Structure 1
Amino acid sequence: MNILMIEDNESVCEMMSMFFEKEAFTASFYHDGAEGFEAYRKEPNIWDIVILDLNLPSMDGMHICREMRKISKETPIIMLTAQDSESDQVIGLEMGADDYVTKPFSPLTLLARMKALHRRAHVVPEASENLVEGDYNVVTDSVKINTVTREAVYLDKPIENLTPKEFDLLVMFAKNPRRVFSREQLLKSIWEDPFYGDERTVDAHIKKLRQKIELVGPQLIQTVWGVGYKYEEPGDN
């Protein structure tokens, strides 16, 4: 992996540098937010993953994450947040981060989360060898999805600006209409197993997915109180 780590604590960077080297990863470290974002902006396609601290000089992590997502929806981003800052974790996910790790953290835990995100970002979808632009391999009454080009169309209108996790959630729901998924099931399927973070990660991603669905049509992702979420076509309930 080629890693971009934007973290102002030099001791943390030095520690992670040793772990990255053992994994044969390449890493670039920036201690200033604006400088780190500029490195990404110049060459967004060379990074396999971004590790982004929340509190940075010049440009904070929330702002950087939001600007990165304007450039690319595909680059996996892990946000580093304070242990007791639940609101920062949720906001970070809403800004487009794929995951978060709370400080202080175990380097091995961070590596495990990185590897899980990297694997999922490079999964080749099933039955897609001959799939091209304009074809769809996940189809419901109102939604059509191409898992190769990662395009989703709802009532013949594109659902735009989906992050990787939002897209994967939509695919899972559309493949299993009316099936109720618990947060734990979604975490195991879309994130990693075992998952070391907070189940509210699911809620934050589904909130953003719902907002993007509602820009083009009636809501598809329904809450089943006390259980989880399900996909339901408009008018089915």
Structure 2
Amino acid sequence: MSYAIYPSLVDQTVVVTGGGSGIGAAIVEAFAAQGARVFFLDIAEADSQALVEQLRGSKHPPVFHRCDLRDIEAIGRIFDAIVAEAGPIGVLVNNAANDDRHTIGSVTPAYWDERIAVNLRHQFFCAQYAASGMKTARKGVILNFGSISWHSALPNLSIYMTAKAGIEGLTRGLARDLGGYGIRVNAIVPGAVRTPRQMKLWQSPESEAKLVADQCLPERVEPEHVARMVLFLASDDGSRCSGREYFVDAGWYGASS
């Protein structure tokens, strides 16, 4: 396969949350290949350090910051450090999330709050921090990650799906409020992506076969396919795209349990 090169992404300052593994790592790698200056936040130190080593030969080797995104003050400190090093953030990719399963009866108020903090709250505050510099620059891109899960009503994910549905509302609100400053905000909705975590915890040969059968395109969605949508929307080629959801799911209309 050959993929597009986006000149507008060269030397762009990009921040990716949850960039150490899975879809996030593919996004970091894709931006690095475009010549962007990539900074990524994660709590998975081993995976993140391995990714930094893998991409050390890039024009701008990616920079890893360890950050628990439940700590809003820590997010602010790291964003300030990134801006001090590389200038205003041009692209923010709010990718980090955790899809641990849960039953309705087991949920406590504390667990609810923690899951919302992990999957939704940080997207708003990361956008808030990034948008302050974007407003001054009168341009910028914020990409929030949703999920196919709530569109397909998957089981044992009620809080996760609540958060992911909220992200699409957040995206439209931010797009409206920030559009006058030249800032574009969109949501990316991945389908059933073949990441190491998904394959280890949730998928089997039987469930994979059902996924493929339920998709319009009978091919598995890989992290790099999602990353390519991210690149397009982050680039000047997507300059009239804002306030919308973009699905990368191979046309998946089934709900595999």
Q: TM-score range by the shorter chain?
A: 0.3 to 0.5
Normalising by structure 1, we get a TM-score of: 0.40
Task: Decide which structure has greater strand share.
Answer: 1
